[in-house]
């Protein structure tokens, strides 16, 4: 019999609570100075804490002051990681109450720098590390995890971390950060979240020469050996955590597309870079269409970038156009790609399969400016990880032909953005409907103040994941991402669009997640994919299943 204890859908975990000094060293149960007089006696910790009882509000004041005293964002990140390692409830209370301030620290852009320095910052392990050397025993390794009722796994192999490339095992910072957002933005209990690093090596020579690198010191395993490793991992996940949602994160394009296609019909899984990015971008695009007064079916969309994220967004945009009445071939004609060789056309040799649906019978254009001048797109979306590629001539060409050009510079971290918010507004005379992958502050131009939105996947995947988990959906379907995008787009206030925001305020993200989770759970039931009961009052049911970071009473 499995000795691990299950975690209920909401409330405190049922893992056996320790006592004495071990209690103060367990972040799941530690309350620090908030243990009451009665608890100190019952739990055998009297004398192990300062005598004054300081409750959650006072603790929040202290950690806020300590957080603000840090001189740099990476120091703030390190402080938050240390807080998470000693007092999980206080950590999540801080994040929930100050999400707008904390989001850029716990995730983009700061998490990119944290991943680059992960081995140098390493203090305490979090999550599971499954290496290619663990073949034949991955099931046993997964059973080492102390909680059996895992609801969400985020797994990466570290090959394409944000726009930074191959960071190998140091990419573990991404699953950790994503799962912190599942809890903060949608109330998935932290005890039900499991980050996993799938280590098959790295091609990063700097890391291979770093004595503090934490991963396998070898070149990446590829081909049939890689596929067999992933196959064993997936089979082990299905056996050990049969109702889990598996999210693939930051895999290189070829593997990202291949793994999604291979496993999407075998277990409850999705790829956030392909599908999550697509859904939140579609939502922002629907908001921009409202701002421009032009429906989606009349837009012409040009992508800079042709990897998994770009083609994932393109696919969802095309299917959204079809849902709104366009013929499939006409919808595809309205979407084009520019890659490192220029405009993707049918005349190109050795075109990758994922690019072929968007290859058109057009004259070649050697670069982005040539493609913009030839195609006259109304929408320009950057997912290239190539900084400063939306130049003044490119943005000027967009603005010269359209009253309200739509410009999304979605590459992150900030150092990889195709343009800044200030450049987008200045080079289009303040007429651009702009959004970005990394956060930019308000921009004043010609007497107006614009508040650009960050097209952050956190608007989509936590709420969608919560709906999947609560309904016990057996699969994640494309229609769920359409519904999530449409639900998010409907939540954009008109006033926000007038101020240049194409998504709801980040501070409202938990409420947005409730709406998305409710819609997804109802859809899972309607599609016959829900193994759980989805009640009529779905929103109240979703709220009751969300974790709220408050201290339990142990007296």
Task: Give the active site residues.
Answer: 107, 178
Structure tokens at 441: 């502050």
Strands (E) in 216-354, as ranges, are 245-248, 269-271, 301-304, 335-339, 342-343
Q: What angle do CA 270, 274, 279 make, to 5 degrees?
A: 90
Task: Give the span between the Cα atoms of 315 and 334, in whole angstroms.
Answer: 12
The answer to whether the CB of 128 falls within 8 A of the CB of 236 is: no
Of the CA atoms within 13 Å of residue 336, those in its CB half-sphere come to 29
Q: How many CB atoms lie within 10 A of CB 188?
A: 28
Give, as one character, the DSSP assignment of residue 530.
Answer: B
Task: Give the span between the Cα atoms of 399 and 413, in whole angstroms.
Answer: 26
Residues 6+ apart with CB under 8 A from 25: none
Place of tokens 């957080």: 67
Query: Length of the chain in residues, anyone?
Result: 555
Nearest to 457 by CA among 187, 103, 164: 103
Structure tokens at 509: 């993200």
Q: How many CB atoms lie within 10 A of CB 12?
A: 19
- Element (DSSP H or E) covering residue 408: strand 406-409
Got the DSSP string for 87-155?
-HHHHHHHHHHTHHHHHHHHSTTHHHHHHHTHHHH--S--SEEEEGGGTT-HHHHHTTSS-S---EEEE
Structure tokens at 497: 């669009």
The answer to whether the CB of 545 falls within 8 A of the CB of 470 is: yes
Got the DSSP string for 21-75?
HHHHT-TTT--GGG--HHHHHHTT-TTSS-SS---HHHHHHHHHHHHHT-SSHHH
Q: What is the distance of C-alpha 203 from the center of its chain?
A: 24
- According to DSSP, the residues that pair with 246 across neighbouring strands are 153, 269
Nearest to 480 by CA among 457, 458, 502, 463: 463
Residues 6+ apart with CB under 8 A from 210: 119
3-state SS class at 269: strand
Task: Give the span between the Cα atoms of 241 and 125, in whole angstroms.
Answer: 21
Task: Give the span between the Cα atoms of 269 and 36, in whole angstroms.
Answer: 43
The answer to whether the CB of 303 falls within 8 A of the CB of 334 is: no
């Amino acid at each position: 019999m499995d000795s691990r204890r299950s975690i209920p859908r909401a409330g405190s975990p049922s893992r056996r609570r320790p006592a004495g000094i071990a209690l103060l060293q367990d972040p799941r149960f530690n309350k620090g100075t908030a243990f009451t007089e009665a608890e100190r006696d019952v739990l055998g910790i009297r004398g192990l804490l300062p005598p004054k009882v300081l409750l959650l509000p006072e603790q929040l004041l202290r950690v806020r002051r300590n957080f603000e005293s840090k001189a740099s964002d990476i120091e703030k990140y390190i402080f938050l990681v240390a807080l998470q390692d000693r007092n999980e409830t206080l950590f999540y209370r801080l994040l929930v109450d100050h999400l707008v301030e904390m989001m850029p620290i716990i995730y983009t852009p700061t998490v990119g720098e944290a991943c680059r320095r992960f081995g140098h910052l390493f203090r305490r392990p979090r999550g599971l590390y499954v290496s290619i050397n663990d073949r034949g025993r991955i099931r046993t390794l997964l059973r080492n995890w102390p909680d059996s009722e895992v609801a969400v796994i985020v797994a990466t192999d570290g090959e394409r971390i944000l726009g930074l490339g191959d960071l190998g095992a140091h990419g573990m910072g991404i699953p950790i950060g994503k799962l912190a957002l599942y809890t903060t933005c949608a109330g998935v209990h932290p005890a039900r979240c499991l980050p996993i690093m799938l280590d098959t090596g790295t091609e990063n020579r700097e890391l291979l020469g770093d004595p503090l690198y934490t991963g396998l010191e070898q070149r990446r395993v590829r081909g049939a050996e890689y596929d067999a490793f992933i196959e064993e991992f997936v089979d082990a996940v299905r056996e050990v955590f049969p109702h889990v949602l598996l999210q693939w994160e930051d895999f290189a394009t070829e593997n990202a597309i291949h793994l999604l296609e291979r496993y999407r019909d075998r277990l409850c899984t999705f790829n956030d870079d392909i599908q999550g990015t697509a859904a939140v971008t579609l939502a922002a695009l629907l908001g921009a269409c409202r701002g421009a007064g032009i429906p989606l079916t009349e837009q012409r969309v040009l992508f800079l970038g042709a990897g998994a994220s770009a083609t994932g967004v393109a696919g969802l945009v095309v299917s959204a156009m079809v849902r709104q009445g366009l013929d499939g071939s006409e919808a595809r004609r309205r979407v084009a790609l520019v890659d490192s060789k220029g405009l993707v056309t049918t005349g190109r040799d050795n075109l990758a399969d994922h690019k072929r649906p968007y290859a058109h019978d057009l004259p070649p254009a050697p670069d982005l400016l040539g493609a913009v001048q030839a195609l006259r797109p109304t929408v320009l979306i950057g997912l290239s990880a190539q900084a400063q590629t939306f130049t003044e001539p490119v943005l000027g060409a967009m603005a010269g032909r359209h009253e309200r050009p739509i410009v999304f510079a979605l590459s992150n971290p900030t150092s990889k953005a195709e343009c800044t918010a200030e450049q987008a507004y200045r080079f289009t005379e303040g007429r651009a409907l702009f959004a970005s992958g990394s956060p930019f502050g308000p921009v004043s131009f010609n007497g107006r103040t614009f508040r650009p939105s960050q097209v952050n996947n956190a608007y989509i995947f936590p709420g969608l994941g919560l709906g999947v988990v609560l309904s016990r959906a057996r699969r994640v379907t494309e229609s769920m991402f359409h519904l999530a995008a449409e639900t998010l787009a409907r939540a954009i206030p008109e006033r926000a669009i007038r101020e240049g925001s194409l998504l709801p305020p980040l501070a409202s993200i938990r409420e947005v997640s409730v709406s998305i989770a409710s819609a997804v759970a109802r859809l899972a039931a309607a599609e016959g994919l829900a193994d759980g009961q989805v009640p009529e009052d779905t929103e109240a049911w979703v709220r009751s299943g969300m974790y709220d970071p408050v201290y339990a009473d142990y007296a």
